[in-house]
Structure 1
Amino acid sequence: MTEIISKNSIQDFNEELIDKYGFLLSMNQLPEPGEKPSLNSNGFVGSFTSYNSYPFNWYEAVGNGFVNTPNGKITNSSLALFNKKDTIYDKNLSFFKENNFFYPYSLMDYYGFKYNSYLFPKIISSWQFDTVYAPVSRAPLSTLNNVDIVFTPDKTKWSRCVIVETANRFFTQKPISNNLSTFFFMGLETKPNPDGKFPSQFELRGDFSVGKNDQNGDGKPDPDGAVDANGKPLYGMGWFPGYAVDIETGKRLNIYFGENSCYSEKYDTICKKENQIGGDMLWNPNGTLFTGDTLPKGSAYNYFAGGQHFIYVTNQTYDSCELLRDAFSSNVKAKVASALKSTTWTSIPLPLKALKPLGAGSKGLIPSECVIKLRVNNAYQVKNENGINNGYPTYLLDFKNRPIVADNFKTEFVSNNLSNVLIHPNPYFPSKHSTLNMSNLPENSQIEIYNLSGNLLLSQQASKQFSWDHKLQNGNLLNTSILLIKITNLDDKSYEIKKVMME
Structure 2
Amino acid sequence: PGATTDLCNFMFPGVSDPMFPGQEWTEVTAGNLPADRRFLQSAGPFTLEPGAVNTITTGVVWARAKAGGNEASVQLVKIYDREAQALFDNNFNILNGPDAPDLTIREMDQELIISITNEESSNNYNESYSEKDPYITLAANVDNQNYEFQGYLVYQLKNATVSVTDLDDPDKARLVFRSDMKDDVTGIINQYLDPIMNVYVPVQEIPSVMESGAAGAVDQGVEYSFKVTEDKFALGNPTLVNHKTYHYMSIAYGFNPAEINANPYDVNNPLYDGRNQPHIAGRRNIQTYSAIPHQVDPENGGTVLGSHYGDGVRITRIEGVGNGGNTMELDSATVVEVIADGQSLFPSYENGMGPITISVVDPLKIKDEEEGNVYTVILEDPVTTNQGVVTSYAKWRVLNGTNTLITSTKSIDVGVEQLFPEHGFSIKLNQVGLPVSDPASNENNGFISGTIEFDDPYDKWLTGVPDLDNDFFYGLNWIRSGTLDDEDDDNLDDYFPDEDPEGIYEGAVIQEVTIKTTLPDFMGGSSISFEASGGTWAPYRFSSHFNSGPAQPYYTSFPYSTAKTLTSVDIVFTSDQTQWTRCAIVEASDDKSLAEGGQTKMGLRSHPSVDKNGDDDGSGTFGMGWFPGYAIDLESGERLNLIFSEDSWLSGENGRDMIWNPTSNIITSNEFPSYQGGQFSGGSYLLGGKHFVYVIGGDASAMAEDDYLTEDLCPSYDEGAWIYNILSDTTSSSYTAGIAKVFQHCTWVGAPLLSAGSGSQLFGKGEKNTARVKLRVHSTYNPYVNVDQSQILNSSDELVVGNTYYVADNNLQIHNAKCQLTYPKIYGGKKVTHAGTNYEVGESFVATTTSFTGNSKSRVIADMPINNFNPVYEFNTTDLVSEIKNNEQAKSALDLINVVPNPYYGYSEYETSQLDNRVKITNLPNSATIRIFTVSGTLLKTIKKSDDLTSVDWDLKNDHGIPVASGLYVIHVRTTIDGKKQNKILKWFGVLRPIDLDTF
TM, length-normalised to structure 1: 0.61
Shift of 1:11: 3.2
Match for residue 166 of structure 1 among 564, 568, 588: 588
Equivalent residue, structure 2, for 1:373: 774
Rate the CA distance shift 1:391–1:347 in 2: closer, same or farther, 3 A.
farther
Residue 418 of structure 2: SS of its match in structure 1? strand
Residues 1:107 and 2:507 aligned together: no
Which whole-Å deviations, capped at 9, do the CAs of 1:307-338 have from their partners, x for residues lacking one? 11111012121111111111222243223212
Q: Decide whether the 8 Å contact of 1:249 with 1:393 is kept in 2.
A: no
Q: Decide whether the 8 Å contact of 2:464 with 2:754 is kept in 1.
A: yes
Equivalent residue, structure 1, for 2:751: 348
Residues 1:243 and 2:243 aligned together: no
Which whole-Å CA distance do the structure 1 matches of 2:763 and 2:461 have between them? 20
Rate the CA distance shift 1:91–1:360 in 2: closer, same or farther, 3 A.
closer
Match for residue 723 of structure 2 among 324, 329, 341: 324
Q: Decide whether the 8 Å contact of 1:108 with 1:125 is kept in 2.
A: yes
Which entry has the higher C-alpha Rg, 1 or 2?
2
Shift of 1:278: 1.0
Residue 601 of structure 2: SS of its match in structure 1? coil
Equivalent residue, structure 2, for 1:466: none
Q: Decide whether the 8 Å contact of 1:34 with 1:140 is kept in 2.
A: no
Residues 1:303 and 2:725 aligned together: no
Residues 1:222 and 2:222 aligned together: no
Rate the CA distance shift 1:288–1:276 in 2: closer, same or farther, 3 A.
closer
Q: Decide whether the 8 Å contact of 2:447 with 2:504 is kept in 1.
A: yes
Residue 325 of structure 1: SS of its match in structure 2? helix
Residues 1:79 and 2:473 aligned together: no
Aligned-pair identity (%)? 28
Match for residue 64 of structure 1 among 464, 467, 475: 467
Shift of 1:105: 0.3
Q: Which structure has more RCO (C-alpha within 8 Å, separation ≥ 6)?
A: 1
The number of residue pairs the alignment matches comes to: 337
Instruction: Tell me which amino acid in the other structure corresponds to 1:79.
Output: L
Residues 1:124 and 2:534 aligned together: no
Which whole-Å CA distance do the structure 1 matches of 2:448 and 2:672 have between them? 43
Q: Decide whether the 8 Å contact of 1:46 with 1:375 is kept in 2.
A: yes
Q: Decide whether the 8 Å contact of 1:254 with 1:314 is kept in 2.
A: yes
Q: Decide whether the 8 Å contact of 1:148 with 1:373 is kept in 2.
A: yes
Give the root-mean-square deviation of aligned CA atoms. 3.1
Equivalent runs, 1:281-430 vs 2, <5 Å: 281-293=658-670, 299-300=680-681, 301-316=683-698, 317-331=716-730, 332-353=735-756, 354=758, 356=760, 367-387=768-788, 394=873, 396=875
Rate the CA distance shift 1:148–1:357 in 2: closer, same or farther, 3 A.
closer
Residue 504 of structure 2: SS of its match in structure 1? coil
Rate the CA distance shift 1:296–1:76 in 2: closer, same or farther, 3 A.
closer
Q: Decide whether the 8 Å contact of 2:571 with 2:773 is kept in 1.
A: yes
Match for residue 10 of structure 1 among 389, 394, 412: 412
Residue 164 of structure 1: SS of its match in structure 2? strand
Rate the CA distance shift 1:26–1:164 in 2: closer, same or farther, 3 A.
same
Whichever structure has more strand as a proportion of its residues is: 2
Residues 1:44 and 2:44 aligned together: no
Which whole-Å CA distance do the structure 1 matches of 2:726 and 2:759 have between them? 31
Shift of 1:296: 6.9
Instruction: Tell me which amino acid in the other structure corresponds to 1:310.
Output: F
Instruction: Tell me which amino acid in the other structure corresponds to 1:336.
Output: I
Q: Decide whether the 8 Å contact of 1:199 with 1:206 is kept in 2.
A: yes
Shift of 1:341: 1.6
Residue 408 of structure 2: SS of its match in structure 1? coil
Q: Decide whether the 8 Å contact of 1:38 with 1:92 is kept in 2.
A: no
Equivalent residue, structure 1, for 2:190: none
Equivalent residue, structure 1, for 2:24: none
Equivalent residue, structure 1, for 2:948: none
Equivalent runs, 1:156-195 vs 2, <5 Å: 156-168=578-590, 171-172=591-592, 188-192=593-597
Instruction: Tell me which amino acid in the other structure corresponds to 2:615.
Output: D
Which whole-Å CA distance do the structure 2 matches of 1:362 and 1:256 have between them? 26
Rate the CA distance shift 1:51–1:66 in 2: closer, same or farther, 3 A.
farther
Q: Decide whether the 8 Å contact of 2:462 with 2:755 is kept in 1.
A: yes
Which whole-Å CA distance do the structure 2 matches of 1:370 and 1:147 have between them? 14
Of residues 330-339 and 296-305 in structure 1, the stretch that sits farther from structure 2 once superposed is: 296-305
Which whole-Å CA distance do the structure 1 matches of 2:769 and 2:436 have between them? 34
Shift of 1:279: 1.0
Shift of 1:150: 0.7
Equivalent residue, structure 2, for 1:261: 648
Which whole-Å CA distance do the structure 2 matches of 1:143 and 1:199 have between them? 29
Which whole-Å CA distance do the structure 2 matches of 1:160 and 1:378 have between them? 28
TM, length-normalised to structure 2: 0.32
Instruction: Tell me which amino acid in the other structure corresponds to 2:783.
Output: V
Instruction: Tell me which amino acid in the other structure corresponds to 1:45.
Output: I
Match for residue 94 of structure 1 among 504, 527, 541: 504
Which whole-Å deviations, capped at 9, do the CAs of 1:4-51 have from their partners, x for residues lacking one? 524223233223344663322111111110111235610000112211
Of residues 302-311 and 331-340 in structure 1, the stretch that sits farther from structure 2 once superposed is: 331-340
Equivalent residue, structure 1, for 2:456: 53
Rate the CA distance shift 1:381–1:255 in 2: closer, same or farther, 3 A.
same
Which whole-Å CA distance do the structure 1 matches of 2:749 and 2:876 have between them? 32
Q: Decide whether the 8 Å contact of 1:65 with 1:75 is kept in 2.
A: no
Q: Decide whether the 8 Å contact of 2:653 with 2:662 is kept in 1.
A: no
Which whole-Å CA distance do the structure 2 matches of 1:402 and 1:38 have between them? 43
Q: Decide whether the 8 Å contact of 1:314 with 1:342 is kept in 2.
A: yes
Rate the CA distance shift 1:85–1:162 in 2: closer, same or farther, 3 A.
closer
Equivalent residue, structure 1, for 2:427: 25
Of residues 11-20 and 298-307 in structure 1, the stretch that sits farther from structure 2 once superposed is: 11-20
Residue 414 of structure 2: SS of its match in structure 1? coil
- Stretches of structure 1 that go unaligned for 5 or more consecutive residues are 68-73, 113-120, 173-187, 193-197, 214-220, 227-232, 265-274, 405-503
Residue 644 of structure 2: SS of its match in structure 1? strand
Which whole-Å CA distance do the structure 1 matches of 2:685 and 2:674 have between them? 12
Equivalent residue, structure 2, for 1:270: none
Equivalent residue, structure 2, for 1:448: none
Which whole-Å CA distance do the structure 1 matches of 2:654 and 2:564 have between them? 36
Shift of 1:137: 5.1
Rate the CA distance shift 1:190–1:392 in 2: closer, same or farther, 3 A.
farther
Rate the CA distance shift 1:151–1:85 in 2: closer, same or farther, 3 A.
closer
Q: Decide whether the 8 Å contact of 1:37 with 1:90 is kept in 2.
A: yes
Which whole-Å CA distance do the structure 1 matches of 2:755 and 2:427 have between them? 44
Shift of 1:102: 1.3
Q: Decide whether the 8 Å contact of 2:581 with 2:629 is kept in 1.
A: yes
Which whole-Å CA distance do the structure 2 matches of 1:20 and 1:345 have between them? 44
- Stretches of structure 2 that go unaligned for 5 or more consecutive residues are 1-373, 378-396, 398-406, 481-492, 512-534, 699-715, 789-862, 884-1000
Rate the CA distance shift 1:394–1:261 in 2: closer, same or farther, 3 A.
farther
Rate the CA distance shift 1:395–1:126 in 2: closer, same or farther, 3 A.
farther
Equivalent residue, structure 2, for 1:202: 602
Rate the CA distance shift 1:397–1:127 in 2: closer, same or farther, 3 A.
farther
Q: Decide whether the 8 Å contact of 1:310 with 1:349 is kept in 2.
A: yes
Which whole-Å CA distance do the structure 2 matches of 1:146 and 1:347 have between them? 14
Of residues 322-331 and 302-311 in structure 1, the stretch that sits farther from structure 2 once superposed is: 322-331
Which whole-Å CA distance do the structure 2 matches of 1:91 and 1:138 have between them? 19
